[in-house]
Amino acid sequence: MPTMAKPAEVLAQMSTSKRLRQTSFMGQWNLAGLPAMSIPSGFSSNGLPLAVQIVVGRPFAEATVLRVADTLQRQTDWHLAVPPADKLM
């Protein structure tokens, strides 16, 4: 599932209050006490970072969630990719 409802914003458009009002798909897992993890999954058409939540585990199954994330990152190189600086500003 996605981490956020839309891609990251450029730095000049970011603000804490705006960020807190955006739809996130992470909070319900925190409230339920279930471990989840988000990993890089690519870039938007504008070149900004995207992430995806993988695995929502049983309570106290953090090690399982971390193993799945590690396995997926070993199969891709998105966690090493850096967007061009001109896309971030």
Are 26 and 66 contacting, i.e. CB atoms less than 8 angstroms apart? no
- Whether residue 33 is contained in a domain is answered as yes
- Whether residue 29 is contained in a domain is answered as yes
- Whether residue 87 is contained in a domain is answered as no
Query: What's the domain range around 74?
Result: 11-78
pLDDT digits (tens, 9 = 90+) for 29-87: 888 989 998 888 888 888 888 888 876 889 999 999 999 999 988 998 888 888 777 76
By CB neighbour count within 10 A (0-12 exposed, 13-18 middle, 19+ buried), where does 86 fall? exposed
- Whether residue 85 is contained in a domain is answered as no
Model pLDDT, residue 16? 78
pLDDT digits (tens, 9 = 90+) for 6-23: 777 777 777 778 777 777
Domain count, the chain: 1
- Tokens matching residue 32: 């339920």
- Whether residue 27 is contained in a domain is answered as yes
- Whether residue 3 is contained in a domain is answered as no
Element (H, E) at 37: strand 36-43
Question: Does the pLDDT at position 89 exceed 80?
Answer: no
- Whether residue 84 is contained in a domain is answered as no
